[in-house]
């Protein structure tokens, strides 16, 4: 398979090395108010502007802090739409994520919330690039979900937050973070009670 570039940039930077392990967050279209998005973009613009004057490590820390604020807002402010609350819709996304498990990636954990999804996976050797896998997943699920909801128009936000994860404490912390999302939101008392949580049997 043709090698792909590990770094590309849309509105946000994406470092996607082959065989990497990634923490992913993607959300429904319109789930963050435009005023908040504008604020986030202005903050990121300042970080991006200072990129040439910062050390690589300092830039990565600032970038991580930016995404932490973004992710924290998404988890605390469950804004409409809530299409993923519909069990028929959540099932489409759930099954689509599992479809490529052991084919394109090893899927470690995910949680489907009312307006966004968290997932942790490792790309398989010779897999498609991550952005290609996500694009196909989003197109497929958007079409199926829109049909189910009898609607048209954009379903997912185009941008996905992806963070390269290192094995060790960070890996375990992210698994716990993902699984406890519905607990923090007050939907259940224990992560195992949330129907749309998944953890690989190999981690149990």
Q: In whole angstroms, give the CA distance from residue 152 to residue 95.
A: 22
Q: What is the pLDDT of residues 55-100, one digit of tens each?
A: 666 666 666 666 666 666 666 656 668 999 999 999 999 999 999 9
Q: What is the pLDDT of residues 188-200, one digit of tens each?
A: 999 999 999 999 9
Residue-number span of the structural domain to which 153 is assigned: 23-203
Q: In whole angstroms, give the CA distance from residue 33 to residue 147.
A: 25
In a domain, 10, yes or no: no
Which of 199, 193, 158, 153 is CA-nearest to residue 176?
A: 199
Q: What is the pLDDT of residues 128-148, one digit of tens each?
A: 999 999 999 999 999 999 999
Split into its structural domains, the chain has a count of 1
In a domain, 51, yes or no: yes
In a domain, 56, yes or no: yes
CATH number at residue 113: 3.30.70.1290
In a domain, 89, yes or no: yes
Which of 14, 11, 165, 26 is CA-nearest to residue 96?
A: 26
Q: In whole angstroms, give the CA distance from residue 189 to residue 154.
A: 33
In a domain, 1, yes or no: no
In a domain, 15, yes or no: no
């Amino acid at each position: 398979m043709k090698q792909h570039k590990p770094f590309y940039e849309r509105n946000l930077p994406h470092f996607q090395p082959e065989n990497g392990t990634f923490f992913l967050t993607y959300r429904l279209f319109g789930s963050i108010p435009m005023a908040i998005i504008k604020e986030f973009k202005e903050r990121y613009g300042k970080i991006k502007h200072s990129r040439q004057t910062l050390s690589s490590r300092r830039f990565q820390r600032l970038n991580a802090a930016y995404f932490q604020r973004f992710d924290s807002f998404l988890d605390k402010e469950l804004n409409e739409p809530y299409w993923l609350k519909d069990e028929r819709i959540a099932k489409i996304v759930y099954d689509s994520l599992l479809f490529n498990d052991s084919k394109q990636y090893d899927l470690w954990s995910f949680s489907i919330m009312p307006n966004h999804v968290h997932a942790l996976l490792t790309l398989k050797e010779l897999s498609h690039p991550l952005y290609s896998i996500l694009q196909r997943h989003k197109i497929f699920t958007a079409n199926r979900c829109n049909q189910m909801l009898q609607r048209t128009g954009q379903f997912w936000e185009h941008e996905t937050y992806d963070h390269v994860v290192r094995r060790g404490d960070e890996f375990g912390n992210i698994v716990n973070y993902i699984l406890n999302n519905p607990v923090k939101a007050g939907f259940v008392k224990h992560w195992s009670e949330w129907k749309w949580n998944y953890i690989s049997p190999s981690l149990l």
